[in-house]
């Protein structure tokens, strides 16, 4: 599992204002390398005649699709939304693996929010068995998404409630927003929120019979197709991201090469 390290500045005070301050200072520092999605069997390599040509062709095709997508994205982040299911979660992580070679990193919004809440100023005052209120969760989710406006080369898995809040869509649209539809009957699946369908840039129907990597390539190919069909929109995403960086005194060119 990809682990993210957040640098969190300490702050005084508690309550909802404390959560906003904490989330506002969250920064993605680094991510551990993701494991390869295809580990070769012992003795198998590109020149091994025992490796089926069809497997090699599929691997090369998948790598080419991922590379083309990364080129079209031009550093813009990808925001994955939809119901949080086992199928969508594993597909999201496999998709991030496919873009790892282009220096994309993976973040699960829910995990980030839980980490921030656990380290908040009022966390110690909350009973051990108590859970944060909906208001607390929404506030921190919104603050993290606002911070994410300036992130580059990130795969943000923001499944579930965050995309159902209209207040979050200004931030979600700073990247390419992909709606993942899990197959009916999958645990956690359901009818997608109308707002998701209306606002998503790309909609991908996942197939529960596919491997995670096959689902990842479905996401990559359909996102690539959408970007090719709507090139001006991809340029607009980049302009919005660059503008957000400049407002914070950050050079977009230097940010991408970092």
Model pLDDT for residues 24-62, shown as the tens digit of each residue: 444 433 333 343 333 334 443 344 455 455 544 455 456
pLDDT the model gives residue 125:
54
Asked if 106 contacts 92 with a C-beta cutoff of 8 angstroms, the reply is: yes
Asked if 12 contacts 133 with a C-beta cutoff of 8 angstroms, the reply is: no
Asked if 86 contacts 183 with a C-beta cutoff of 8 angstroms, the reply is: no
- 206/194 Cα distance (integer angstroms): 18
pLDDT the model gives residue 179:
96
User: Both tokens of residue 180?
Assistant: 């993942």
CATH superfamily of 4-32+66-257: P-loop containing nucleotide triphosphate hydrolases (3.40.50.300)
- Residue 194: CB partners within 8 Å, gap ≥ 6? none
pTM of the model: 0.69
Asked if 26 contacts 6 with a C-beta cutoff of 8 angstroms, the reply is: yes
- Residue 196: CB partners within 8 Å, gap ≥ 6? 81, 82, 163, 164, 179
Bridge partners of 203, per DSSP, are 179
- 193/81 Cα distance (integer angstroms): 10
Asked if 103 contacts 68 with a C-beta cutoff of 8 angstroms, the reply is: no
> What residue ranges of the chain have pLDDT lower than 50?
1-48, 51, 55-57, 60, 129, 232-234, 258
Domain residue extents for the chain? 4-32+66-257
- 138/144 Cα distance (integer angstroms): 10
User: Both tokens of residue 196?
Assistant: 């998701």
Beta-carbon neighbour count of residue 240 at 10 Å?
Answer: 16
- 238/235 Cα distance (integer angstroms): 5
pLDDT the model gives residue 21:
47
Q: Within 119-188, where are the H helices?
A: 134-148, 169-172
DSSP 79: E
């Amino acid at each position: 599992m990809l682990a993210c390290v957040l640098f969190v500045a300490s702050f005084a005070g508690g309550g909802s204002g404390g959560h906003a301050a904490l989330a506002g200072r969250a920064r993605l520092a680094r991510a551990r390398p993701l494991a390869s999605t295809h580990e070769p069997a012992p003795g198998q390599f590109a020149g091994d005649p025992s490796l089926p040509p069809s497997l090699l062709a599929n691997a090369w095709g998948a790598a080419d699709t991922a590379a083309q997508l990364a080129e079209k994205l031009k550093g813009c982040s990808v925001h994955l939304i939809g119901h949080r299911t086992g199928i969508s979660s594993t597909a999201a992580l496999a998709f991030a693996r496919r873009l790892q070679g282009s220096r994309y990193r993976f973040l699960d919004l829910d995990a980030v929010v839980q980490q921030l809440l656990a380290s908040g100023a009022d966390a110690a005052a909350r009973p051990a068995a108590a859970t944060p209120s909906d208001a607390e969760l929404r506030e921190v989710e919104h603050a993290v998404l606002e911070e994410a406006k300036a992130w580059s080369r990130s795969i943000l898995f923001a499944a579930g409630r965050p995309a159902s809040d209209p207040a979050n869509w200004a931030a979600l649209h700073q990247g390419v927003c992909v709606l993942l539809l899990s197959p009916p009957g999958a645990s956690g699946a359901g009818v997608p929120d109308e707002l998701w369908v209306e606002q998503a840039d790309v909609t991908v129907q996942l197939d529960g019979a596919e491997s995670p990597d096959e689902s990842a390539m479905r996401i990559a190919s359909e996102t690539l197709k959408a970007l090719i069909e709507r090139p001006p929109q991809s340029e607009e995403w980049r302009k919005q991201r660059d503008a957000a960086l400049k407002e914070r005194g950050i050079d977009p060119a230097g940010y991408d090469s970092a």
